[in-house]
Amino acid sequence: MEVFEATSKGALDVFHSWPGYWKGKNEAFVAFASVPYGLDNEGYNIWYYERGGKEMFDELYGRFNMVPFFCGNVGQELGLHSNKKATKLEDFKGMKVRTVGWYMDILTKLGVTVTPLPGPEIYLALERGVIDAVEFSSPAANVPSGFHEITKYVIEPGVHQPSCQFDVVFNKDKWNELPDDLKAIVEICAKETQLWSNAWQENLNIEALKIIGAKAEFVKMDDATIVEFANISFKYLDELKAKDPDVKKVLDSQKKYKKAFAPWREMRKGLAPWPQEDVAKGKLLQ
């Protein structure tokens, strides 16, 4: 958690992390990491590379003497590994949950006790009952942490993170010292990592779900709860935009992209690539 300051001041040349951790520096960083009911992996790529997201990212980090690049997106995150079953909003009230970012504030509004524990402290907190549930990352990233071994349920879907976006960030003075050819190599490699990482992680998720499912029960929030959760999340984000112009600028840009892309998303939605036997039975939508 100290890499931001260290790189900003030049004690480190570069770091690789998740922008949402810098919520305390500027709320807008969270919008570049993951937004409840926000952009998926495809959406982040389109918005960042083609619709002005990169320029906003550069400007925000630039205030802190740093130069950033998107560098890895692992897709939608798993929901909550939990020792309490929850499928409706009222089930979450009184739960003790580990999470970070804006989801932390949203759950607090629902009567959840939230703590932003760092990764290495989560397992022990779960094991000892200090927390009832945890969200951390994708299925493949969660398996090595062993959360499924000490919890009974996995509450789906991961509404808090339609995708999880990472970055690589350079001290601006160090970056400016690099020759143009090395700068180009870094940019190309960052983009390659961005595009490759999702395929890598989603492929690993295939086996990870089998491992998790052998130990824990997958439960799904009903549709009405997901919609209610969304409305609470949107209200929170609107309140945040009203207070913070940086957040408003970024979220309004993402919202504009989602509206522009919506007609094509609607047209193509009947062709989700389900297995042949499922499509033959009428399963079409993603």
Indicate if 44 and 141 belong to the same structural domain: no
Indicate if 127 and 233 belong to the same structural domain: yes
Residue 265 lies in a domain: no
Number of domains observed in the structure of the chain:
2
What is the model's pLDDT at position 272?
86
* CATH classification of the domain holding 44: 3.40.190.170
pLDDT tens, the chain, 286 aa long? 899 999 999 999 999 999 999 999 999 999 999 999 999 999 999 999 999 999 999 999 999 999 999 999 999 999 999 999 999 989 999 999 999 889 999 999 889 999 989 888 999 999 999 999 999 999 999 999 999 999 999 999 999 899 999 999 999 999 999 999 999 999 999 999 999 999 999 999 999 999 999 999 999 998 999 999 999 999 999 999 999 999 999 999 999 999 999 999 999 888 888 999 999 999 988 7
Indicate if 69 and 176 belong to the same structural domain: yes
Identify the domain containing residue 171 by its residue range: 3-75+162-208
Indicate if 28 and 111 belong to the same structural domain: no
Residue 127 lies in a domain: yes
Residue 258 lies in a domain: no
Indicate if 63 and 195 belong to the same structural domain: yes
Indicate if 53 and 150 belong to the same structural domain: no
Indicate if 188 and 92 belong to the same structural domain: no
CB of 136 closer than 8 Å to CB of 29: no
Indicate if 111 and 225 belong to the same structural domain: yes
Indicate if 193 and 110 belong to the same structural domain: no
* CATH classification of the domain holding 122: 3.40.190.10
Residue 280 lies in a domain: no
Residue 234 lies in a domain: yes
Indicate if 134 and 93 belong to the same structural domain: yes
Indicate if 88 and 228 belong to the same structural domain: yes
The burial class, CB within 10 Å (0-12 / 13-18 / 19+), for 108 is: middle
Residue 125 lies in a domain: yes
Indicate if 181 and 140 belong to the same structural domain: no
**Predicted TM-score of the model (pTM):** 0.93
Residue 47 lies in a domain: yes
Residue 260 lies in a domain: no
What is the model's pLDDT at position 198?
94
Residue ending a domain, among 208, 230, 265, is 208
Find tokens 């580990």 and name the residue: 98
H-assigned helices in 25-130: 41-50, 53-62, 89-92, 101-109, 119-127
Q: What is the mean pLDDT of the chain?
A: 95
How confident is the model over 107-136, as pLDDT tens digits?
Answer: 998 899 999 898 889 999 999 999 999 999
Beta bridge partners of 113: 96
Other CB atoms within a 10 A radius of the CB of residue 69 amount to: 20
